[in-house]
Amino acid sequence: LVEPLELGDDVTQVLVSPEGPLCYLPFGALFDETVTMTPSGSTHVLLLDEERGQGEGVLALGDPDYAGASEGAQAIYWRGRTLSALPATRPEVEAVGTTKLLGAKANEVALREAVSKHDRWRAVHFACHGLIDVERPMLSALALTAGGEDDGFLTALEVLRMEIPADLVALSACETGTGKVVKGEGIVGLTRAFMYAGAPCVLCSLWKVDDEATRALMTKFYELWNPAEGEGLGAAEAMRKAQAFVRGHEKWAHPYYWAAWVLWGLPS
């Protein structure tokens, strides 16, 4: 796939519009250049043409309390299994977020209220379980804290009905870059839903990811992309460097720990 392109030294960025099973290929592990995925050329042009200013602040949600999830909701979204705690998501949120929703506050009601407090966010970050339904992609969900009438499962269908104005949405959860592969449209699921909701760039994963390695990767990504002072790198370049940072640790050198992460949408 790569060698026949004969990319010259002047090529620094690759845009991939995959079809079929190629949607699940971690192209970032194959290229030395930065890589960004897009559903189609027309979608990419629409994203480029949309006028938007840079957002401010990072709304980060993590370490949800799964004890309150109803049996009915778990039966629908998680096939009746128990959702385990994700302890590394708390320090991840504390490291990257300026507004933090943790534990009991990591719920849909608090999320909707927080999103509305900024005209535009620099990023909205989710550190939780991702639950993918390939046959019914609009029921794919992020597992948050349940409470009251809120079942705790933020589905792709619910996201489509929301406005989430942000430069980037990070889905720091398992398999969030997967879904139903539709001919000519790429993957339909959580990633596409967040793009429709207002994020021109979505960071997601292709397989079940390691909790600690993910925390390290996300922390480094935000340090590079959204530094406290000065101008950061573009999202695609920041992700490439963050993956190299994780890969540099001996215990995380295998591609399993870093190659799952892909960017859909605009590279910066």
What does the pLDDT look like over 13-30, one tens digit per residue?
Answer: 999 999 888 999 999 999
> Cα–Cα distances in Å, from 195 out to 103, 148, 157, 189, 200?
26, 28, 12, 10, 6
Global pTM value: 0.94
pLDDT in tens, 95-139: 999 999 999 999 999 999 999 999 999 999 999 999 999 999 999
Q: CB–CB of 128/147 below 8 Å? A: no
pLDDT bin (cut points 50, 70, 90) of residue 182 is confident
pLDDT bin (cut points 50, 70, 90) of residue 203 is very high
- For residues 199 and 47, the model is more confident at 199
Residue 6 pLDDT greater than 80, yes or no: yes
Contacts of residue 127, defined as CB under 8 A and 6 or more positions apart, other chains included, come to: 60, 61, 62, 63, 86, 89, 92, 93, 172, 173, 214, 218
Q: What angle do CA 47, 53, 59 make, to 5 degrees?
A: 95
> Beta-carbon neighbour count of residue 127 at 10 Å?
29
pLDDT at residue 76 in the model: 64
> Cα–Cα distances in Å, from 170 out to 7, 40, 101?
30, 21, 15
